[in-house]
């Protein structure tokens, strides 16, 4: 009894009752923002569908490659080239989701690591090893996936290289092996996400492994890549202003700008989810996040839309227009830079998100 | 007379074992901290990988050593921490730990943390504090080093250091953002609604105010409650509760553990004896008479003066310390803001008409980029680095401007910098 009446014990009991009282009370706002619903929306309504769509496109690409290999005509080549562009665009919607296991296993690199190493591809072509999907699987990331296919499909006088030019048969074998491997990677990626989306949805905490934290970092990372690599480098931002068109992604096929557009649409979709369900915009609104006297969610959506509009009307192909249409591209560049600022700085500040996956020891 | 009285009180003998408890706790935690640093691969990630480091003014000579030496430095630091815990070659280990730990911290501003600074200060003080008089290998080996008493100043000095951390961390919170806007607590708590039991209310503004005001009152008052014997046990319970809460809520690494261990220095021998019963040594008799030279008093006064001046020096500068960060480091501005930034550099060479847009990401690791993107002195420093780089490329007179978007506690601005 003596122990029970001592002051520390009484204080501890008092605190415990206070805590129980708090738990028993209902908060003023009984409906705090449900982050799990938001992640479920993004995961189930955007993430999985874009991966499924990419798998379908990869399958079509593999089938059309088989048709072309069996009957290498100009018409079949045209169909195959178109399908490659569809597949590549479809991939650009997936790219923003390079997080969790998909990132840990470097699957994105196996599908679309640019720029491809032309020298490696040429060496393999001229070598004696059988060019199979297994051979491609064992190759490095810079000699497989969509960029490697582009190298073969969009070369000048492409049909000749597959029909009458030296090594034409091996070239056909190689593209078949590449598309087969691509389809395998797309299948593996979707399988991983189908098993992992549940964990993605429930990991709502705000530390570095939290899903929202990872997704915002991935959005920032992709917008940085667009700005620094996909636009900045061809525009000559790091070479004193001398444009280098061949620094553009997919310059051989001339679809660089449309890929940027799909990337931006992918970022927007990952931000909104299905607009009728809770997305990151709703989370920001719930927090009453404002910037420049405007709702931050609106600012981000407006800036993403503006970027998409400007890239849609920018003259292409980028490999050439960096030389001739600098001011238009500069305007696009600045629009995307502003958009990056809103997401990387304003949104991260309002959400208390750590920009970088690096674990910290900070206070 | 007052000075004489104070000197006498500083030299009054007090029992040594509470100081030994502090020494052991500090040494063990620092050993753990350095091992954690090694095991997480941070030697590689934070020191060896980056090609550029943000050195401190006046300490530009503190550079990353070759990989083998860097590992040796961290391992050496861990061994010294073990030496401190064991009280084995205590003074040498204190000097070694202070030098190695501080060297590691001075390599890069991007890795500045208040609690690393605190560790350096405590290590520095331990060089002079005789915390090895009991419960140490030194006392066991050399009877001459053993004594059940130490002068009172050696305990007070560490208590003062702890008090400075808390009190000025409280002073740093007396800001409009913290008190009136409830920031950054609103931001941080609303991101943790998954927290067990009370997380349900973390979206509520009143909860942010409870944390903000509670934290402020805690910081300002806890040293005094720890000093007063009647409130000390409850104050320590509050210390444990407060730091456990921060550990659960925020990714702040070792800080809570360091503070929970360090505040043990406020417990007297009698306090420990009350709980330790027969397991602790009996109260010794015949205390020695301690003496000290005047210069030691001057040194003490100088140290105390510096410790009080540094946290207040930001008042000498115009503008908000949260934005300009002048006087922010070494001043216990602990967890006072959520700050993010993004910086781009625009270089132009009048001689050739060439223009470049450079993002620090190309040169820095992400964790460095995150820090420099909102810290004005680091923005300038990186700009000067770019100037030097371009000079090496043959562009002698390149002009550099930085555009910086920065948000502090939900207030965002675009700032332009001319690189000096």
User: Which string of DSSP letters, residue by residue, matches B93-110?
Assistant: HHHHHHHHHHHHHHS-GG
The phi, psi pair for A277, rounded to 5°, reads: -115, 165
Q: What percent of chain A has pLDDT over 70?
A: 88
Residue A29: which of B204, B370, B405 has the nearest Cβ? B204
In the DSSP assignment, the letter for residue B14 is E
Residues of chain A with Cβ-Cβ distance to B188 below 8 Å are 352
Confidence of residue A358 (pLDDT cuts 50, 70, 90): very low
The phi, psi pair for B118, rounded to 5°, reads: -60, -40
Give the C-alpha separation, A342 to A57, whole Å.
Answer: 33
Residues of chain B with Cβ-Cβ distance to A352 below 8 Å are 184, 187-188, 190-191, 338
- Tell if the CB–CB gap between A238 and B356 is shorter than 8 Å: yes
Give the C-alpha separation, A318 to A153, whole Å.
Answer: 19
In the DSSP assignment, the letter for residue A45 is I
Give the C-alpha separation, B420 to B415, whole Å.
Answer: 15
Residues of chain B with Cβ-Cβ distance to A357 below 8 Å are 366
- Tell if the CB–CB gap between A359 and B114 is shorter than 8 Å: no
Of B78, B98, B76, B80, give the one whose Cα is nearest residue B89: B80
pLDDT of A1 > 50? The answer is no
Determine the angle formed by the axes of helices B90-106 and B67-86, rounding to 10 degrees. 140
Residues of chain A with Cβ-Cβ distance to B366 below 8 Å are 355-358
Best of A24, A289, A363 to mutate (most B CBs within 10 Å, chain B): A363
How many CB atoms neighbour CB B196 within 10 A? 8
- Residue A22 has what pLDDT? 47
User: pTM for the complete prediction?
Assistant: 0.91
CA separation, residue B129 to residues A142, A254, A336, B158, B245 (Å): 60, 72, 58, 9, 32
Best of B357, B360, B365, B402 to mutate (most A CBs within 10 Å, chain A): B357
Helix (H), strand (E) counts: chain B: 18, 6
Are B290 and B11 in contact, with CB atoms under 8 Å apart? Answer: yes
Tell me the ipTM for this assembly. Answer: 0.91
Token pair, residue A114, equals: 């640019």
- Residue B283 has what pLDDT? 78
Give the C-alpha separation, B357 to A225, whole Å.
Answer: 14
CA separation, residue A41 to residues A3, A44, A262 (Å): 54, 5, 20
Are B183 and B335 in contact, with CB atoms under 8 Å apart? Answer: no
The phi, psi pair for B368, rounded to 5°, reads: -70, -45
- Tell if the CB–CB gap between A204 and B190 is shorter than 8 Å: no
- Tell if the CB–CB gap between A237 and B191 is shorter than 8 Å: no
Best of B235, B340, B358, B394 to mutate (most A CBs within 10 Å, chain A): B340
User: First and final CA of chain A: distance in angstroms?
Assistant: 43
Alpha helices in B56-204 (DSSP H): 67-86, 90-106, 114-128, 137-141, 152-171, 176, 185-190
Confidence of residue A316 (pLDDT cuts 50, 70, 90): confident
Give the C-alpha separation, B303 to B308, whole Å.
Answer: 9
Angle at alpha carbon of residue A185, lines to A181 and A190, rounded to 5°: 150
Residue A362: which of B194, B252, B349 has the nearest Cβ? B252
Best of A202, A226, A289, A362 to mutate (most B CBs within 10 Å, chain B): A362
Q: Where are the beta strands (DSSP E) in B350-410?
A: 354-358, 399-408
CA separation, residue B332 to residues B112, B161, B219, B312 (Å): 12, 11, 11, 10
Residues of chain B with Cβ-Cβ distance to A294 below 8 Å are none
Residues of chain A with Cβ-Cβ distance to B114 below 8 Å are 363
Q: Which residue of B has its CA nearest to A359?
A: B251
The half-sphere exposure of B147 on its side-chain side, counting CA atoms within 13 A, is 15
Give the C-alpha separation, A185 to B390, whole Å.
Answer: 43
- Residue A23 has what pLDDT? 44
pLDDT of A7 > 70? The answer is no
Are B315 and B328 in contact, with CB atoms under 8 Å apart? Answer: no
Residues of chain B with Cβ-Cβ distance to A340 below 8 Å are 342
- Residue B282 has what pLDDT? 76
pLDDT in tens, A197-211: 999 999 987 777 789
Confidence of residue A104 (pLDDT cuts 50, 70, 90): very high
pLDDT in tens, A182-197: 999 999 999 999 999 9
pLDDT in tens, A9-53: 455 445 544 544 444 444 444 457 889 999 999 999 999 999 999
**Tokens 């915002």 sit at which residue?**
A216
Are B221 and B234 in contact, with CB atoms under 8 Å apart? Answer: no
Give the C-alpha separation, B320 to B175, whole Å.
Answer: 10
Q: Which residue of A has its CA nearest to B335?
A: A363
- Residue B113 has what pLDDT? 93
Token pair, residue A79, equals: 């169909």
pLDDT in tens, A246-283: 999 999 999 999 999 999 999 999 999 999 999 999 99
Are A73 and A196 in contact, with CB atoms under 8 Å apart? Answer: no
Residue A228: which of B187, B234, B361 has the nearest Cβ? B361
Distance between A53 CA and the closest CA of chain B, angstroms: 32
Residues of chain B with Cβ-Cβ distance to A287 below 8 Å are 187, 190
Distance between A21 CA and the closest CA of chain B, angstroms: 11
Are B84 and B97 in contact, with CB atoms under 8 Å apart? Answer: yes
- Residue B287 has what pLDDT? 82
Residue B406: which of A32, A345, A357 has the nearest Cβ? A345
**Tokens 């991101």 sit at which residue?**
B191
H/E segment holding residue A102: helix A100-104
- Tell if the CB–CB gap between B194 and A291 is shorter than 8 Å: no
- Residue A129 has what pLDDT? 95
The phi, psi pair for B403, rounded to 5°, reads: -110, 130
Residues of chain B with Cβ-Cβ distance to A354 below 8 Å are 251, 370
Of B193, B169, B321, give the one whose Cα is nearest residue B243: B169
**Tokens 């965002």 sit at which residue?**
B412
Q: Which residue of B has its CA nearest to A239?
A: B356
H/E segment holding residue A177: helix A168-202
Q: Is B285 exposed, middle or buried (0-12, 13-18, 19+ CB in 10 A)?
A: exposed
Residues of chain B with Cβ-Cβ distance to A351 below 8 Å are 187, 191
Best of A36, A233, A235, A240 to mutate (most B CBs within 10 Å, chain B): A240
Distance between B184 CA and the closest CA of chain A, angstroms: 9
Residue B187: which of A207, A344, A352 has the nearest Cβ? A352
CA separation, residue B222 to residues A268, B157, B274 (Å): 48, 17, 22
From first to last of its 420 residues, chain B has per-residue pLDDT tens of: 456 688 899 999 999 999 999 999 999 999 999 999 999 999 999 999 999 999 999 999 999 999 999 999 999 999 999 999 999 999 999 999 999 999 999 999 999 999 999 999 999 999 999 999 999 999 999 877 799 999 999 999 999 999 999 999 999 999 999 999 999 999 999 988 888 889 889 989 999 999 999 999 999 999 999 999 999 999 999 999 999 999 998 878 889 999 999 999 999 999 998 887 667 777 777 888 888 888 999 999 999 999 999 999 999 999 999 999 999 999 999 999 999 999 999 999 999 999 999 999 999 999 999 999 999 999 999 999 999 999 999 999 999 999 999 999 999 999 999 998
How many CB atoms neighbour CB A256 within 10 A? 26
The phi, psi pair for A276, rounded to 5°, reads: -80, -10
- Tell if the CB–CB gap between B412 and A238 is shorter than 8 Å: no
- Tell if the CB–CB gap between B252 and A363 is shorter than 8 Å: yes
Give the C-alpha separation, B404 to B345, whole Å.
Answer: 9
pLDDT in tens, B244-298: 999 998 878 889 999 999 999 999 999 998 887 667 777 777 888 888 888 999 9
């Amino acid at each position: 009894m003596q122990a029970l009446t001592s002051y520390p014990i009484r204080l501890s009991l008092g605190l415990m009752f206070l805590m129980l009282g708090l738990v028993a009370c209902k908060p003023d706002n009984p409906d705090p923002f449900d982050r799990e619903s938001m992640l479920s929306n993004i995961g189930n309504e955007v993430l999985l569908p874009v991966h499924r769509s990419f798998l379908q496109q990869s399958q079509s690409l593999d089938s059309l490659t088989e048709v072309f290999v069996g009957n290498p005509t100009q018409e079949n080549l045209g169909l195959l080239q178109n399908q490659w562009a569809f597949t590549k665009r479809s991939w650009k919607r997936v790219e923003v989701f390079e997080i969790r296991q998909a990132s840990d296993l470097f699957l994105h690199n196996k599908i679309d690591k640019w720029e491809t190493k032309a020298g490696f591809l040429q060496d393999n072509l001229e070598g004696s090893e059988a060019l199979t999907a297994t051979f491609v699987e064992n190759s490095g990331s810079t000699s497989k996936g969509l960029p490697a296919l582009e190298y073969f499909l969009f070369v000048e006088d492409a049909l000749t290289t597959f029909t009458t030019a030296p090594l034409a048969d091996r070239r056909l074998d190689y593209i078949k092996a590449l598309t087969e491997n691509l389809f395998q990677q797309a299948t593996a990626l979707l399988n991983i996400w189908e098993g992992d989306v549940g964990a993605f949805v429930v990991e709502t905490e705000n530390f570095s492994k939290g899903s929202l934290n990872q997704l915002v970092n991935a959005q920032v990372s992709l917008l940085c890549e667009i700005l620094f690599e996909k636009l900045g480098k061809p525009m000559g931002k790091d070479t004193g202003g001398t444009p280098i068109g061949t620094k553009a992604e997919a310059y051989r096929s001339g679809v660089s700008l449309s890929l940027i557009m799909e990337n931006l649409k992918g970022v927007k979709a990952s931000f909104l989810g299905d607009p009728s369900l809770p997305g990151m915009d709703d989370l920001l609104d719930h927090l009453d996040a404002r910037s420049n006297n405007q709702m931050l969610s609106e600012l981000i959506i407006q800036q993403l839309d503006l970027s998409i509009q400007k890239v849609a009307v920018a003259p292409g192909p980028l490999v050439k227009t960096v030389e001739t249409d600098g001011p238009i591209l500069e305007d696009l560049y600045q629009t995307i830079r502003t958009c990056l600022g809103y997401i990387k700085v304003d949104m991260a500040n309002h959400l208390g998100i750590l920009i970088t996956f690096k674990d910290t020891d900070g206070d | 007379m007052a000075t004489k009285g104070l000197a006498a009180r500083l030299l009054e003998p007090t029992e040594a074992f509470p100081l030994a408890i502090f020494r052991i706790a500090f040494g063990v935690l620092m050993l753990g901290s350095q091992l954690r640093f090694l095991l997480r691969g941070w030697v590689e990630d934070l020191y060896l990988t980056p090609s550029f480091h943000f050195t401190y003014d006046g300490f530009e000579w503190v550079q990353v050593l070759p990989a083998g030496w860097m590992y040796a430095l961290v391992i050496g630091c861990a061994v010294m921490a073990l030496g401190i815990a064991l009280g084995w070659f205590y003074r040498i280990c204190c000097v070694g730990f202070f030098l190695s730990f501080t060297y590691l911290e001075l390599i890069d501003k991007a890795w500045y943390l208040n609690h690393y600074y605190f560790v350096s200060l405590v290590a520095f003080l331990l060089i002079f504090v005789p915390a090895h008089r009991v419960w140490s290998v030194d006392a066991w080996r050399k009877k001459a080093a053993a004594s059940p008493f130490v002068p009172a100043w050696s305990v007070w000095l560490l208590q003062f250091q702890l008090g400075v951390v808390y009190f000025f961390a409280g002073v740093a919170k007396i800001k409009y953002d913290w008190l009136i806007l409830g920031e950054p607590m609103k931001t941080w708590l609303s991101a943790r609604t998954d927290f067990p039991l009370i997380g349900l209310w973390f979206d509520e503004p009143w909860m942010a105010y409870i944390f903000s005001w509670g934290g402020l009152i805690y910081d300002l008052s806890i040293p005094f409650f720890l000093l007063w014997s009647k409130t000390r046990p409850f104050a320590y319970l509050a210390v444990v509760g407060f730091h456990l809460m921060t550990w659960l809520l925020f990714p702040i690494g070792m800080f809570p553990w360091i503070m929970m261990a360090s505040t043990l220095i406020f417990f007297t021998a009698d306090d420990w004896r009350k709980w330790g019963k027969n397991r602790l040594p009996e109260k010794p008799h015949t205390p020695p008479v301690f003496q000290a030279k005047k210069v030691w008093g001057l040194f003490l006064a100088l140290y105390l003066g510096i410790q009080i001046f540094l946290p207040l020096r930001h008042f000498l500068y115009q503008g908000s310390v949260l934005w300009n960060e002048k006087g922010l480091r070494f001043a216990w501005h602990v967890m006072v803001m959520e700050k993010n930034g993004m910086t781009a550099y625009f270089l132009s060479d009048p001689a050739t008409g060439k223009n470049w847009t450079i993002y620090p990401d190309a040169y820095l690791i992400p964790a460095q980029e995150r820090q420099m993107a909102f810290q004005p002195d680091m923005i300038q420093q990186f700009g000067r680095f770019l100037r030097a780089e371009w000079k090496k490329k043959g562009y002698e007179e390149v002009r550099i401007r930085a555009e910086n978007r920065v948000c502090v506690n939900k207030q965002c601005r675009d700032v332009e910098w001319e690189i000096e």
